[in-house]
Structure formats: structure tokens, C-alpha cells
Copies of this chain bind each other. A is one copy, B any other.
Amino acid sequence: MQLFWTPASPFTRKVVVAAKELGLWENIEIAPTTWPLEWGYATVSFTAGLAEANPVARIPTLITDDGVGLGCSTLICQHLNGQVVGGEVIPSGAAQWPMWSLYAVADGLLEAQVAMRAEMLRPAAVRSEDYLQKQRDRIDRCFDHMEGRSEELAVADGALPNLAQITAGIACGYQDWREWLTDFRPGRANLSSWYEGFRLRPAMRASEPKDTPEV
């Protein structure tokens, strides 16, 4: 498998953490991508091979062992999970739906964070403070929701973290990384104490965000 990757993308980090937790990381060849800062508001030059594998031209994009290009982090994680029997990051049967419910909230939070990043890369004249506030409001609602469901964030004894937990942890990590995002901790004691433990998992520590090379 080949993964188009950057260390800055929280969606890509989701795939990295899932692959590491599943023990599949060694089976994946990393294709680092570069992104001129204009990516937020203009078509840029893409890293060789990316747009051919996925015309949406976004990361993460996985090329499977069968040569299939998969350009969606949710589907990539499902593909990886299906390669492992015992020790999955997605529960089977009806238990998957509450997990997916929380996952979609954490994933929507990531989208809001990345939407803010893209907005802040725009020239100041076409930047919208209302748009930024819309995303901040969404982020606040999602973190509040996660606080209210913090019991579901605890990793079950002897199990791998599920994809909702992984995505929630990555959302907390992105919020900490970008200096223009506020601290998610005030008023969210359960989420905060959960994250203090979760972020120490080897897969999380090995994938802490860094800025993407521009060239």
C-alpha cells in the first residue's frame, strides 16, 4: 500500500494512527506531499502521482495492494480495519453505530479546524471573520458534545482504541497545535483528563503534527 501523506493533516493522522494501532504501518509506503500555502484558496501544483490516484487531489489518499486509489480517510480506515481479524478499530454489528455517531462528530470537528486553516491562508482582503466564527462555533459544539459522551472515549480493557476515540484525540491534538485555536479544556474536565492519557499512546506520540513542506 502507498499513502500520500503530510504531517500537518489531521485526516491523514487518523489513517496513520489507525494503521499503527492495527499493526499495519510497516505495510505502508509513505509518499510525502508538499503543498504551497496557496492550497487554501487556489489550485496548486500537486505532488507527482497524487491527482492521478485521486482527482480530488487531497490527502490522505491510499493506493491499495490491488492498485485501487482511495481518497477518503473514513474509507481508508475501513479498508485497513478489514485486513485485521481480532484487534479491530471498528466494532462489528450494532455496536458500530454509536461509535460512528461519535466519530462523525469528531470528524466534523476536524473539518472545521481545517476550514479555519484554509480561511486564514487567504489574502486578508477576502477573509471572512463570520466564516471563522462559524467554524469556532461548530468546534465548540462538537467539543461540548464529546465532553458529554466522555464515557464512550475510554478505551476498553484489552482492546484497541476505536476510530471515534482516535479521531477525538486527533481533534484535541490539532486544537493544541494551532496557536490560533483556543484551549479546549476549560469547562471540559472529562475530555481534558481523558486526552492527557490518550495522547501518550505510542501511535499518537509518533504522529504529532508538524507543518507541511511547501516545496
Instruction: Classify chain A's interface size.
Output: 35 or more
A51-B100 contact in complex given A42-B134, A133-B43, C-beta closer than 8 Å? no
Assess the A75–B100 pair: CB atoms within 8 A: yes
**Which residues of chain B are within 8 angstroms of A103 by Cβ–Cβ distance?**
75
Would you give the shortest CB distance from A70 to chain B, in whole angstroms?
6
A41-B142 contact in complex given A97-B70, A108-B71, C-beta closer than 8 Å? no
Complex: how many Å from CA A100 to CA B68?
9
Would you give the shortest CB distance from A6 to chain B, in whole angstroms?
18
| Residue A141 CB within 8 A of the other chain | yes
CB within 8 Å of B: which A123-166 residues: 123, 125-128, 130-131, 133-134, 137-138, 141-142, 144-145
Which residue of B43, B64, B94, B144 contacts A55 across the interface (Cβ within 8 Å)? Answer: B144
| Residue A72 CB within 8 A of the other chain | yes
Complex: how many Å from CA A41 to CA B42?
18
Complex: how many Å from CA A74 to CA B42?
27
Assess the B55–A142 pair: CB atoms within 8 A: yes
Complex: how many Å from CA A112 to CA B93?
33
Closest 5 CB pairs of A and B: A56-B108, A55-B141, A55-B145, A42-B130, A72-B104
26 contacts between A and B (CB under 8 A): A42-B130, A42-B133, A43-B133, A43-B138, A51-B141, A54-B104, A54-B105, A55-B105, A55-B144, A55-B145, A56-B108, A56-B109, A57-B138, A66-B97, A69-B101, A70-B100, A70-B101, A71-B104, A71-B108, A72-B74, A72-B107, A72-B108, A74-B74, A79-B100, A122-B128, A126-B127
